[in-house]
Structure 1
């Protein structure tokens, strides 16, 4: 493929952004990632690309870089993390991105990815910090919350894609397509994903999809979601399915298992924190095809307004863009045909989930709790020590 341009991947994880952009001609010249397991994956999958371990010690970027991609750490932003905010020890590292791109002849494009909760955190303070920093550097910015299901993957995973440039119009890239959400399938006819680790205040219920894959618990224990099949059986996806749900080839993270001292559960963390490859590929295609921006319905934002699903701005003025989280509707892979690597949810996990549902006030779709109870009976009944 003809090269589109050279890029750098900061906080590269296992290379989701870089892999998706590579499909449209972007050549990665440098990767930066501190996690030893992720480093092993990057060195195996991007064999000719140098991997730097610490963004705070990276003095400068290679010359003639046209795009910098940065899926900066979300642990201080996500609802599953500590929510310490944009100045937390992990998520505050986004300022290192601004340090590296501040030179006058910096990259043509800056692509930032993170969790939607960053829009709400601190009543919008995290986003204001980022947009102010970009504008101080002379960038026009745009962002859009995008759902991975739009690209055919049966995982309900929303992420903020933010694109900024000093010379180009990011609006044409992010807002030029809008297909709208596909109709919701009937929960009785399709597999439904949920978090078996919850049950009192939340469920993560997703019809014909799994809820957002997570990086695991704070103590490093893998916690894949569960799936209620139309038969009533309850299963959990295996690691291979999790990799595929993120758009990677099976065993993409296998090199991490060879790192001394890392448990296999660390691979779950790497997959849960990864960027969807298909989502990144869509950005890569739009960078090639976007053309001129046709201004649609926009509303000026006032100071203190909540950050919407999509917006753009420059020079301390921001505009709400009325669009959906589904820019396209790629052919959808039904969850029933997608899953290939599953195991039955254990009796202990099932019993623990049932106990939590009885402690809370959640409402469930008809028949769901009956299916859970029947699954527990088939697994041998309520164990003495439930989760």
Structure 2
């Protein structure tokens, strides 16, 4: 089902891009920020774009099937110390325009996105309350309802069924900790099937059915992070050097916000580096784009803003552009999350929500607050589909809490550690040693100096190296890159391709130029690009040339032709060009990267692919499809051992990966269902390792879940036996065909006399029990 989408509060188009990748059509975008509109005009030149959500009329939604809105979050975000909330805030309350339009045009589906602070109460206390005054004003300031209460109440007034859920970006294999609330509402459908039906409880079998990363990663983040942790090829730790409330994170990046992008640095070290040398550099904005699911350079067109004729200014500040790009990325919706929702909306009823019997009702319309000590705050997932016994009851009475064990990972993707994910760190700027020393002092003062060994190595390493290298002044003329008519073409097509991801020109002759620092240092040679080099070479016959230096600021200058002393990368590269002076070393490295990389090469943010479902090779169906076994006689028994030889087993295993005619249940039913988020299917992939697992099974006749224990596994028929707590026994149990919910915590395993009981011996209805788990009460 392909939907026509109207996008309000589009931002830089993260929500729109994910929906388009899922096959939907975005017919209208609305965004008030001038920099975002500049980007949207460049990325989507043929789409309708409006600049004011208040100007959108109901007639503009004619033919629209999905209304999507990532409305402003700053009034609810914990990054805002005041957190005024939806009622007293200025920006988040703009969500009212969504409901204004829905009152006039009943759009079938609605999708909203915001921060987790949307679920939290606002508890800012004023001075009169701190002084003990018991007034109505102080009580109102003490606890204000969260914004989610207003949103779901408005949906209920309009007759929309709704469901919301917190989803973490880590579930999609991206090393970025970013939790967001997604709300799906429908006029006629069941939003639970879209948002709550999938849950990635991989049961340790993610290598079997998960989407694999192109960098040969096979395990999800939970399995990667579980002890013993998998070793990454490149160790990495992300640090917000301007914030000591959050600790450094290993192998993942901090949640990008509007302010911390420029403050985030990454400490990297090769895993096999015996010298324990680390590199500390700022997070490159191109890698930040990839962490959000965008292509590198996606946000470059947001700054500077073109004039009415579509022409960019003659000059712009590169640092200001980078700051704006980071800020817009912090406000954006991550593309992998929106793409997953787009896939679910494309076939909304492919997976039904089976856990309604496990969901608890709300005791009050708005849980939490100062006077609620029973129910607690709003859950991380909830829904309301108007299941009321009495039509006269208020609609909030049918609100339900999703099971607490519903994870924030709806799908399973192979996790790529941060050090292996980053592609542009070599081009990133080095972090100032004084900044790291200041951060280390703040950590010690706050008592949080018990940090990762890699972070400690980076902080101490810069202290040890400080003052031991002679630094000279870089050829810094200014951070403004001048766009001369004689150098850059005024044609739009040519101007768009004139710069690479580091704002360096994509053309020009690489050369060395003799330069003297501002403090009167001795002249040294710097790598540069000669932009106006003609057929007569880099020196030419004219007296001066325009060059751009490979320094951190991409400085430019007009230099004498006689100061250009040779081509970079040619025969003129002798030993004295490589010195211990840090500025020159960094510039040479940037020049070599420029030379080595393909200017037109595109980096995919991350790529996944599914392997063909594999057969189990143990059930009766697999043995029937297997080629005749030519096994050696068993001398101890004087006959054939009846087991496939190792060579034939290996050949059959390779054939089963590509054979589509195999009738093995693992290949035809279990793995496809596990990829759709079926919990019972992922449990079935554990086979014999699932014995002893506690679970709940839904019985439709009783309309209830019953607790039991998996007592045995039959590899011949690929079925299980379940012993229920009430004494019933179910043989030939197929978890992938049932609604199953594994128990966690103390009741996760039955004791069986051992810590993790296992039984793989085949059984049938006439055989005695193999592993009898003790009956426990649920």
- Asked if TM exceeds 0.5, the reply is yes
Comparing 341-350 with 184-193, greater Cα deviation is found at 184-193
What pairs with 1:1-387 in structure 2 (closer than 5 Å)? 4-60=2-58, 61-81=60-80, 82-87=82-87, 88-103=89-104, 105-122=105-122, 124-180=145-201, 182-183=222-223, 184=225, 186=229, 190-199=235-244, 201-203=245-247, 205-216=248-259, 223-230=262-269, 231-259=277-305, 263-264=320-321, 265-291=323-349, 292-296=352-356, 297-303=358-364, 304=367, 305-313=376-384, 314=386, 315-316=395-396, 317-322=398-403, 323-342=406-425, 343=428, 344-362=430-448, 364-367=450-453, 370-377=456-463, 380=466
Question: For 1:20 and 1:366, how far apart are their aligned partners in 2?
Answer: 35
The alpha carbon displacement at 1:361 in A equals 2.6
The alpha carbon displacement at 1:187 in A equals 9.6
Q: How many residues align?
A: 373
Question: For 1:237 and 1:91, how far apart are their aligned partners in 2?
Answer: 29
Q: Which residue of 2 aligns with 1:385?
A: none
Comparing 47-56 with 272-281, greater Cα deviation is found at 47-56
Question: For 1:138 and 1:112, how far apart are their aligned partners in 2?
Answer: 17
- Preserved contact between residue 443 and residue 449 of structure 2 (Cα < 8 Å): no
Question: What SS does structure 2 have at the residue aligned with 1:163?
Answer: strand
Indicate how the Cα distance of structure 1 residues 285 and 224 shifts in structure 2: closer, same or farther if over 3 A, else same.
Answer: farther
RMSD: 2.3
Question: For 1:68 and 1:62, how far apart are their aligned partners in 2?
Answer: 8
The alpha carbon displacement at 1:138 in A equals 0.9
Question: For 2:449 and 2:380, how far apart are their aligned partners in 1?
Answer: 27
Question: For 1:363 and 1:118, how far apart are their aligned partners in 2?
Answer: 32
Question: What SS does structure 1 have at the residue aligned with 2:415?
Answer: coil
- Preserved contact between residue 238 and residue 249 of structure 2 (Cα < 8 Å): yes
- Preserved contact between residue 166 and residue 381 of structure 2 (Cα < 8 Å): yes
Note the alpha carbon deviations across 1:338-373, whole angstroms, 9 max, x for none: 112223322132122112112213363452553243
Question: For 2:57 and 2:296, how far apart are their aligned partners in 1?
Answer: 35
Question: What SS does structure 1 have at the residue aligned with 2:400?
Answer: strand
Note the alpha carbon deviations across 1:194-239, whole angstroms, 9 max, x for none: 322112x332x3331101011126xxxx534222324543232111
Indicate how the Cα distance of structure 1 residues 363 and 137 shifts in structure 2: closer, same or farther if over 3 A, else same.
Answer: farther
Indicate how the Cα distance of structure 1 residues 135 and 357 shifts in structure 2: closer, same or farther if over 3 A, else same.
Answer: same
The alpha carbon displacement at 1:16 in A equals 0.6
- Preserved contact between residue 233 and residue 371 of structure 1 (Cα < 8 Å): no
The alpha carbon displacement at 1:379 in A equals 5.8
Question: For 1:336 and 1:8, how far apart are their aligned partners in 2?
Answer: 37
Which sections of structure 2, spanning at least 5 residues, go unmatched?
A: 123-142, 202-220, 270-276, 307-315, 368-375, 387-394, 469-778
Note the alpha carbon deviations across 1:20-56, whole angstroms, 9 max, x for none: 0111221111100011111011111112111111112
Question: For 1:101 and 1:42, how far apart are their aligned partners in 2?
Answer: 25
The structure whose Rg is larger is: 2
- Preserved contact between residue 8 and residue 67 of structure 1 (Cα < 8 Å): yes
- Preserved contact between residue 140 and residue 164 of structure 1 (Cα < 8 Å): yes
TM-score w.r.t. structure 1 length?
0.90
Which sections of structure 1, spanning at least 5 residues, go unmatched?
A: 383-387
Indicate how the Cα distance of structure 1 residues 255 and 378 shifts in structure 2: closer, same or farther if over 3 A, else same.
Answer: farther
The alpha carbon displacement at 1:114 in A equals 0.4
Structure showing greater relative contact order (alpha-carbon pairs closer than 8 Å, 6 or more residues apart):
1
The alpha carbon displacement at 1:17 in A equals 0.7
Question: For 2:106 and 2:434, how far apart are their aligned partners in 1?
Answer: 54
Question: For 1:234 and 1:187, how far apart are their aligned partners in 2?
Answer: 23
- Preserved contact between residue 114 and residue 182 of structure 2 (Cα < 8 Å): yes
The alpha carbon displacement at 1:378 in A equals 5.7
Indicate how the Cα distance of structure 1 residues 365 and 347 shifts in structure 2: closer, same or farther if over 3 A, else same.
Answer: closer
